[in-house]
Structure 1
Amino acid sequence: MKAFVASAILLAAALPASAQVWRSDQGDGTFRNPVLYADYPDPDVIRVGSDYYFATTTFVNTPGITILHSKDLVNWTLHAHVTDRLDGREQYDLKNGNGYRGGLYATSLRYHKGMFYIAVTPVGQKTRIYTARDLRGPWQFHQLDREAFDPGFFIDDDGTGYIATASTADGTITLLTLDKAFRTVVDARKIHYIKGAEGAKVIKRGGYYYIFNSIPPRLGMTVSRARSLFGPWETRNQIDDKSGGHQGALVDLPNGQWFGFVMVDAGSIGRMTNFSPVFWEDDWPRWGTPDAPDRVPDRARKPIQGFAFAEPATSDDFARSRLGLQWQWNHNPDDTRWSLRERPGFLRLRATQANDIWSARNTLTQKGQGPQSRAVVKLDIRQVRAGDRCGFGTFGQYSASIAASRAADGKPYLAMSVVESTQSGPKIDLRVPNEPITGNALWIAVDADFVQDRAVLSYSLDGRAWKGLGGDFPLAFAWRTGTFQGEQFAISCFNPQPGGGTLDVDSFMLTRGKPVAATPKP
């Protein structure tokens, strides 16, 4: 993967100067992978007419379940979120612990007779089926009587609904048959076994049903086919992370062709999505092209021509009355402690009581963007008080930030820290405890290099002259102790004591970055 990223960076250098961090559409009828150089894991993609929709995991971030839209499977924009808040566990409000690595993941998106359906199993809860006539909502859900791990929702030609489910710990694929309203499980049968299988996705082509399964123990993917959903099934290996990815399936085109989407683990950026041509051989799908089979190409012809470049939103001036779809809170927010209306044109964060960023509610996050990106926030710190830690940085396995505070005499200063998430709790490295500054305007920048898995922080008092603070620090993806996501950008404001101040955020700007050179070890 590192070799592929390096070659992709050379391609990027050949493009005209642009503010875009990553551009998949090459403007010549081709695209390059990954289509989205960011953490959009557990993809599920469907076509409705000439529109494509992409549902992705959001874990404990809210609003939850992100949906993107495209006309050509290459140029994607943010379209909607399904739910504003998480429920069922007090940890989602950061009470009595946290919900990191929990929440909503591995959703299955379908469309049938004017209605959109999403099957999802919140961690530790029973499977839900969300429904809406418009992807922008309103959404409603009902709950089944059981927990179906990584539910693969499928609606057959006769309108019967099914859920295929398998867990890595077992590998047995179970098929749940639903009633006509998709509200009740009326039958459950074990239909197949694949060691280590999970993430089932079901499609139908011609006279065959196909189940695609992820095999996490070897970061691979299989496809099984049968004439009946109840089997018998025959299985073949497909691709893996070395040849393109390990969780995904196929989506059909209006002309009858098919295209593949697949997730690939890619280091600190998280898990990215690749797209691939697919051809058929004896009614078996094969990724790639006949002259380069069984791998996702680095570059290929766009499946649908004629649509202009588009991308998910990133930069923001906070001029609207609602947060942009690119933003998510680290848990359910406390809506009394943030506002876009109190000071029009600014996002206002009131300091939440917490000892560190890991336990601080109302941390506003946005996905990191690769291969390298530079994120800059402009802040007004005039209402930051003593004890506050209000600033900007990264959030994930390593949460590094430059935060503003005030001394007892009211003079402002900055602190730079790196918080590592470990099994025993947050480990704090306070690298710069006191950097005196003047004035109320503050710019903070994160330069993140997702090829080298390193980043640096810097600040400015005028937006022009910059000073680094604290040296470089690592970026990492680690599902056991982190957020189960790639490193994110994060704006935060907290104070170990009650009654903190406020931080006013003027703007966030994301542009293409440069490689980060690691500090030589002594």
Structure 2
Amino acid sequence: MRSYISSLLVAGLMSGLGAVTSARVPLDIRQEAAFSNPVLFQDLPDIDVFRVGSVYYYSTSTFAFSPGAPVLKSYDLVNWTPVTHSVPDVADFGKEYKLNGDNDRAYVKGVWASSMRYRKSNDKFYWMGCIQSTGKTFLYTAPGNGAADNGGENDNWEWTLEGTIDECFYDNGIFFDDDDTMYVTWGNRQLRVTQLSDDGLSVVRTETIYDSGDDLYLEGAHLYKTRGYYWVCPTKVASGQYILRSTKPFGTYDVREFWDNLSGPLSNAGYAHQGGMVDTPEGDWHYLAFMDAYPAGRIPVLAPITWSEDDWPSIVLDANGGWGVSYPMPVKTNKTVPGVERLDDFSASTLHPEWEWNHSPDLEYFELGSDGLILKTASVVGDLFNARNTLTHRITGPRSVATWHLNISGLTQGDRAGAAIFRDESAYIGVHKDTNGTKIVFVNEINMNQQWQTVSRGTVAATGPSIDAHEIWLRIEADVTPAFGLFPVREAHFYYSLDGENWRQLGTFVLHNRWQWFTGFRFAVFNFATAKLGGQISVKSFKNALA
């Protein structure tokens, strides 16, 4: 993924988007005969997808959110659930990932497009990514716990940083050959294949396999082997894919356009692109790509692949020659995964992997237990963008409702706590505790510029009553339906309740449709100090529901 988007994106945008689970009450997803795109209406971009036995794994990017590089699993390529993060803490990448102030933070840096694979010879999962801001490639591994002999299942994820390579394997794709040799394909415009040492930390050989020149920007390549060929599949930024094949990993490669500018299954969204190919146990192949679909973010869409007589792949198109809205289910199975509608009371010993902190958290200032999630003020700051220990959750589209139950009895003077819509332009509903009491507020105009510096710390746009109550319920209804080319865009509505039953709206916020921050809007819960440390809130529960 590149740091700026070429004119190809502009055309594309206008074309039409391993933890304890006892704390959640999930709804299992039951299988149907066909599926509809998107397969999961969440911001899950820069896809790498692969299969171990009968389990599919999906790795995605997270930038400065922590833990980073989430992994989802599926039994049918359509229904997905998060299971772990390959990067336990983005603090590994440098001090700016700990939110040290306006000029020392890592927004839009961190985990970009990366890759993950399983290595049968040593029963380990590998994750590799070039970390923006470091110029280095980081390698993490996790024991497979017998995944190859257990149908692909791994119920205990323990990721370890193995080391770094002093070179940026940009938008890489790792691959283990039949003889267990480890390769990685990477680069933009100049696509390269590198052979690595057995431990993955030293370069043995690198060759440029294709130079697309100035007129064609290719990146995000992944490497596969099937039908007697090595395949390298890079994205044509924002609009399609190319496919390269050779009988040897270093080439020579033949090159073809895979697809370009396909009309998509979503209106007011970009073209399907990037992502990866994956096979079923029966030998059928599918492609999992994403669509730029702001304000939701970049969301995954799936299509089957067919092969020509001379062994070149093509996407199965719909009757109009586009990426289909619906296709037959890729895999028939009776196995299920939890759905996205969940109630979390935070009583488990660890956070579920659906949660990610804004930057690295300070572990001293939060805890989980029978009282829920305790968020102690972890920093004395002037705005939400610098507040440590803000916890975020992806918004499920096209519309969803998030409800928090908070105990605010532990707040101290100067504390700000509440629930937010979080991105480069943010807003929140919450409480401000000051010398004159505790007041319910709606705050907007919390804004960054495109250098990701805070330019507005927020304006109290509406106030509710002053309260003495120890508990408050906060709710955000968010519409993240794709909105490229539309104005006005989509809205989020903010509510509060003092009993969990009767609700009053306090504010409305417009969700813009710009791509430059890359990640989509998220829900967030926070508690920060403006005067001194010592205050705390308890997040008693969080409910995520489709609207």
- The question of 1:119 aligning with 2:119 is answered no
**Partner amino acid for 1:179?**
S
Alignment match, 2:494: 457
Code of the aligned partner of 1:485: T
Instruction: Give the direction of change, closer, same or farther, for the CA distance of 1:408–1:161 in structure 2 (3 Å limit).
Output: same
Counterpart in the other structure of 2:151: none
Where do 5+ consecutive residues of structure 2 fail to align?
1-12, 18-24, 145-153, 265-271, 482-488
Pick closer, same or farther for the CA change 1:450–1:413 going to 2, 3 Å: closer
Q: Which has the higher contact order (CA 8 A, sep 6+)?
A: 2
Aligned equivalents of 1:497, 1:242: Cα separation in 2: 54
In the alignment, which residue of structure 2 is the partner of 1:408? 435
Question: Tell me, what secondary structure is at the counterpart of 1:509?
Answer: strand
Superposition deviation, residue 348 in structure 1 = 1.1
SS of 2:385's equivalent in the other structure is helix
Match of 2:456 among 421, 427, 438: 427
1:130 paired residue number: 140
1:501 and 2:535 are equivalent in the alignment = yes
Q: Is 1:176 the equivalent of 2:194?
A: yes
Q: Distance between the aligned counterparts of 1:432 and 1:420, measured in 2?
A: 14
Aligned position for 2:243? 223
Distance 1:404 1:277 in 2: 49
Cα RMSD, aligned residues only:
2.4
Residues 152 and 202 in structure 1, CA contact (< 8 A), matched pair in contact too: yes
2:110 maps to what in 1? 103
Q: Is the 8 A contact 1:69 1:77 kept in 2?
A: yes
Q: Which moved more, 1:25-34 or 1:158-167?
A: 25-34
AA aligned to 1:301 is P
TM-score (norm 1): 0.88
- 1:13 corresponding residue in structure 2: none
How many correspondences in the alignment? 488
- What corresponds to 1:517 in structure 2? none
Question: Which residue type is aligned with residue 349 of structure 1?
Answer: L
Q: Could you tell which deviates more after superposition, 374-383 or 78-87? A: 78-87
Is this contact kept in 2: 1:322–1:340, CA < 8 A? yes
Moved more, 418-427 or 155-164: 418-427
User: The residue matched to 1:91 in structure 2 has which SS?
Assistant: helix
For residues 1-47 of structure 1, what are the alpha-carbon distances to aligned partners after superposition, in whole Å with 9 as ceiling and x for unaligned? 89988xxxxxxxxxxxxx999x9x78431111111100111111111
What residue number does 2:252 align with?
232
Question: 1:312 Cα deviation (Å)?
Answer: 5.3
Identity fraction in percent: 32
Quote the residue 2:93 is aligned against.
Answer: 88
Question: 2:463 and 2:115 mapped to 1: Cα distance?
Answer: 48
- C-alpha distance in 2 between matches for 1:333 and 1:466: 32
Letter in 2 for 1:425: T
| Cα deviation, residue 238, structure 1 | 2.4
Q: Alpha-carbon deviation of 1:230?
A: 2.2
- Paired residue type of 1:445: R
Structure 1 residue 411, shift from structure 2 partner: 4.3
Q: Is the 8 A contact 1:287 1:293 kept in 2?
A: no
Matches within 5 A, 1:324-403: 324-341=352-369, 344-351=370-377, 352-403=379-430
* Structure 2 equivalent of residue 252 of structure 1: 279
Give me the whole-angstrom Cα distance separating, in 2, the residues matched to 1:429 and 1:295: 43
The SS at the match of 2:242 is strand
Kindly indicate whether the alpha-carbon contact (under 8 Å) linking 1:287 and 1:294 is maintained by their aligned counterparts in 2.
Answer: no
Cα deviations by residue, 1:249-268 (Å, 9 ceiling, x for unpaired): 21111111111111211111
Distance 1:340 1:304 in 2: 38
Render the CA deviation track for 1:314-367: whole Å, top value 9, x for unaligned: 4311121211111111011111111114xx231111123111111111000011
**TM-score, reference length from structure 2:** 0.84
The 5 A counterparts of 1:44-55 are 44-55=48-59
**8 Å contact from structure 1 (residues 57, 106) kept in 2:** yes
Once the two structures are superposed, residues 362-403 of structure 1 have per-residue CA deviations (whole angstroms, 9 ceiling, x without a partner) of 000011110000111011111222221100021112211012
Give 1:164's aligned residue. 185
Report what 1:57 is aligned to.
Answer: 61
CA distance in 2, matches of 1:97, 1:474: 27
